[in-house]
Chain A
């Protein structure tokens, strides 16, 4: 963290409006010309429980959460459980204060609502404040809120105090409030804002802390988007007009955005009885000629295994998204993890035959979801976009121009009735939908209702017109053709202009860090710091999980002495995939793993790298990450 940035943490209870308040705060600062990045931490609970959102604000691009933070706004938890220190869950009433102190940096600011929080209930509060040179502002936000409006408006009061202490122009916030709030609640909120701002300015020396917000100016017009937004917009721009789903955190966000927007573009959203049905409906719609998707999180995706295999066997194009959360089983529903990689790559019986993308940023979520659709329809294969609660939920300011793209509604390898009239049929009049000698392994399809297009789609092995068959020669022909598509896709991706892998740092660096999915931005920040500290490090963020980018990753690993693989799981799944696909480099790859429910902080990667790769003898910080050495170490 530098003086040039604010990392503001708003903490309270679930259900107290933390998410919407932080979203408005982030958007207001983005509009003022700054870059913003949010990190959400919340429990699987509707009312109450330790919740916070961090908004990182800088005049430079921000692509990760920071190391700790420098400004705490602690609001009360309206729905805290019994206030017993020794209960299972501790003293929840005090948690907005007590749970957030460990990561607050020296010289940081604490603003807390003295109407709801009692600092004397927080162990060693005064001592810690003195030790860390924290600046404390206790303001009775609740009373101010009640005086002018309703108690929930204490969030507004807290934001006003933030502005006063961090030197943010109140007009930045107020103009957003005017846009975002209905007339009915705007007036009391503005009154609450002004009163809180004046109160803290009168009672405290707000210039004392060194924490402040820089001024900035974007080169390009920004938008504040989450990974879930980007995935949904990509689907819409690819002409996806059908989604089926069942609610499950954190996948529900994509489903919600699609359900809201699809009717506006004449599309269909179906909330159905379970995830087996959800995936099956997506197949049914796609089979009948509408570009379709479904998705879920780990447990729901497990139910989709069988329809996924059916899509592979019937060569039905479909896109599924998988929003990972900490497992196994129900795990930690609202916490990020990257432990579903093998699940997504291999689930369902038979030889796996699918495309899997793992975008690393909001922009990549858009670009790669679009590519997933294109490959699914061009090659008649299921494509999966795997991401996590972190990427799905974090709001980031990104250039609007990235999304200024033309739509692509193509159904891919699909024939018209005129083309069907010329296509090969069997003696029964059935269209030979699954021909052996198809180019790139792709045998074009017909759509039910087209004259001259009828065929049988089946989950059984089948002959060219679709009739089931156990003939060994037919079997080998069909398997080879279906598998050939993966090789064709690999060749197409390799021929693409640019790469879906993201490279960062000096090309001639001695050491490498490899990661996948949402940890990419954090790794990049760590690479900057390591190079500033005198190390020679570069990074690759891999997005193509299947078919795997063998050449690119081999070239990267050839060019470095050692490589640290950073991922959020306990069994080093991506490192395992890499070794399996490459068949070597086991002695070069060590792992830094984290699976405590929180994404990496840049400092953890810096420390992990410094301690192990460079062997300068330092221990890893705390117990929150785990190092697994390379083979032979």
Chain B
């Protein structure tokens, strides 16, 4: 019998289960895009029949980092940029958990960029949501890795001399096996993408455009948007890596020209997840490892029996 009975339960769930019974009202500014992420995530969790006790939501630091204060589940509000290494280890320790990591664009593409690249490269079976508002919000409006070139702020008074990072292209190059961009202003698409991302066996990366009405007033509200999977102007095959690379480049460039493209860009269902790869070389047990610590019948190995002979 599992020591983690919340996992794998067949059940109907509804979005209200993921709303805290106490102080459910987020402290985000009115009109903030972060509300859209919260709403979409609740909808996705409900649609997937998950329970609050079966999910671990790891966040970074920033306005986005407060997501797990307003989403009822196990939460780990980590440190700036480090949600991914904590999340992926939790998934390795207990492969039954549904693990979602979330953070802002500074968190994921700046300070935590190394973890982003390597988590994608390794294709951990988890979902990563990046709240991309092209600004540092909680520290009051500094230029971020996704701010457009020339962006002026108190820390870049003469305008940023840097080209913004290309998050989708970076993700593809790094190795993510599910890559999408959605926007807070498109909650239905966002929820559907989150459902697919959580169900996907591998590293799912969602660049989630979240408008910041307080510190990034100049920025677009990300409307109108074009869904590249729906629009007649695009005939995109999400399994075509080269086409994805090309469309990502176009999408990233057009954002700064005022045209918002969203949708699924790349899906690789063939690539084994890191968990599968690791099992295939005998480095990850079949059963979730965390179960063993609750199994009174497990015979724990002794180094004296197993390893000391070579030293004799």
Contact = CB atoms under 8 A, between A and B. Distances in A.
Interface of A: 31, 221-225, 229, 232-233, 236-237, 239, 241-242, 244, 261-270, 272-274, 276-278, 280-292, 306-307, 309-310, 314, 400, 403-407, 409, 411, 414, 416-417, 426-430, 447-460, 466-468
B292 interface: yes
B93 A273 contact: no
A306 B79 contact: yes
A450 B74 CA distance: 10
A267 B88 CA distance: 16
A428 B20 contact: yes
Nearest to A411: B293
Given A242-B93, A427-B22, 19 more contacts: A267-B289, A276-B85, A277-B82, A277-B84, A281-B85, A281-B89, A283-B89, A285-B92, A285-B93, A287-B76, A288-B91, A288-B290, A400-B311, A429-B52, A448-B55, A453-B53, A456-B76, A459-B61, A459-B79
28 contacts: A223-B308, A233-B303, A233-B308, A261-B303, A265-B301, A266-B285, A270-B89, A277-B118, A280-B82, A280-B85, A284-B58, A284-B93, A288-B97, A288-B290, A289-B93, A291-B293, A306-B79, A306-B82, A314-B76, A400-B308, A409-B292, A409-B298, A416-B3, A450-B5, A453-B74, A454-B72, A455-B74, A468-B77
Nearest to A236: B303
Interface in B2-32: 3-7, 20-23
Nearest to B80: A306
A468 B75 CA distance: 12
Given A289-B94, A290-B93, A449 B87 contact: no
Contact of B54 (A31, A278, A285, A449): A449
Contact of A451 (B6, B76, B90): B6
Contacts of A414: 293
B231 to A, nearest CB: 37
Interface in B52-88: 52-56, 58, 61, 68-69, 72-79, 82, 84-88
Given A237-B303, A449-B4, A428 B72 contact: yes
A416 B88 CA distance: 23
B127 to A, nearest CB: 15
A332 B128 CA distance: 40
Nearest to A261: B307
A276 B86 CA distance: 10
Contacts of A237: 302-304
Q: List the 10 closest pairs (A to B, CB-CB), nearest first.
A: A284-B89, A449-B4, A289-B290, A458-B77, A280-B85, A284-B86, A428-B21, A233-B303, A288-B93, A281-B89
A401 to B, nearest CB: 9
B86 A283 contact: yes
Contacts of B115: 273, 276-277
Interface string B273-301: 00000100011110001101110001011
A132 B57 CA distance: 72
A455 to B, nearest CB: 7
Contacts of B118: 272-273, 277
Contact of A447 (B92, B290, B302): B290
Given A416-B3, A447-B290, A453-B53, A233 B90 contact: no
B294 A416 contact: yes
Interface in B168-184: none
Determine which residue in A223, A416, A454 has the highest number of CB atoms from chain B within 10 A of its CB, and name it. A454
A404 B304 contact: yes
Contacts of B89: 242, 244, 270, 280-285, 288, 292
Determine which residue in B93, B284, B300 has the highest number of CB atoms from chain A within 10 A of its CB, and name it. B93
Contact of A417 (B3, B75, B114): B3
A365 to B, nearest CB: 13
A407 B302 contact: yes
B74 A429 contact: no
B96 interface: yes
A269 B76 CA distance: 22
Contact of A449 (B7, B76, B293): B7
Contacts of A232: 303
Contacts of A239: 293, 300
A306 to B, nearest CB: 6
Given A223-B308, A310-B79, A457-B75, A409 B302 contact: no
A485 to B, nearest CB: 21
Nearest to B312: A223
A278 B115 CA distance: 11
Interface of B: 3-7, 20-23, 52-56, 58, 61, 68-69, 72-79, 82, 84-94, 96-97, 114-115, 117-118, 278, 282-285, 289-290, 292-294, 298, 300-304, 306-308, 311-312
A436 to B, nearest CB: 18
A269 B283 contact: yes
Determine which residue in B21, B53, B114, B117 has the highest number of CB atoms from chain A within 10 A of its CB, and name it. B53
B86 to A, nearest CB: 4
Contacts of B90: 284-285, 287-288, 448
A85 B67 CA distance: 66
A377 B58 CA distance: 22
Contacts of A266: 285, 289, 292
B53 A454 contact: yes
B293 A459 contact: no
B87 A284 contact: yes
Nearest to B2: A449
Given A267-B289, A289-B290, A467-B69, A449 B53 contact: yes
A263 B285 CA distance: 8
B132 to A, nearest CB: 22
Contact of A236 (B78, B96, B301): B301
Contacts of B88: 281, 284
Contact of A241 (B56, B72, B96, B289): B289
A596 B307 CA distance: 36
A429 B5 contact: no
B306 A273 contact: no
Nearest to A467: B69
Determine which residue in A225, A270, A281 has the highest number of CB atoms from chain B within 10 A of its CB, and name it. A281
Contacts of B86: 280-281, 283-284, 287
A265 B306 contact: yes
Contact of A450 (B53, B84, B308): B53
Given A280-B89, A417-B5, A448-B74, A261 B306 contact: yes
Given A239-B300, A277-B85, A456-B69, A466 B79 contact: no
B21 A429 contact: yes
Determine which residue in B55, B61, B289 has the highest number of CB atoms from chain A within 10 A of its CB, and name it. B289
Contacts of B22: 426-428
A449 B97 contact: yes
Given A284-B87, A428-B21, A454-B53, A221 B312 contact: yes
B186 to A, nearest CB: 29
Contacts of A267: 289
A604 B4 CA distance: 59
Contacts of A406: 302
A95 B64 CA distance: 60
A483 B283 CA distance: 38
Given A285-B90, A288-B56, A417-B3, A242 B289 contact: yes
A423 B162 CA distance: 53
A453 B7 CA distance: 12
Contact of B114 (A236, A277, A427, A448): A277
Contacts of A451: 4-6, 53
A264 B306 contact: yes
Determine which residue in A237, A264, A266, A414 has the highest number of CB atoms from chain B within 10 A of its CB, and name it. A266
B282 to A, nearest CB: 5
Nearest to A447: B290
A306 B81 CA distance: 11
A349 to B, nearest CB: 11
Contact of A405 (B74, B284, B302): B302
A409 B79 contact: no
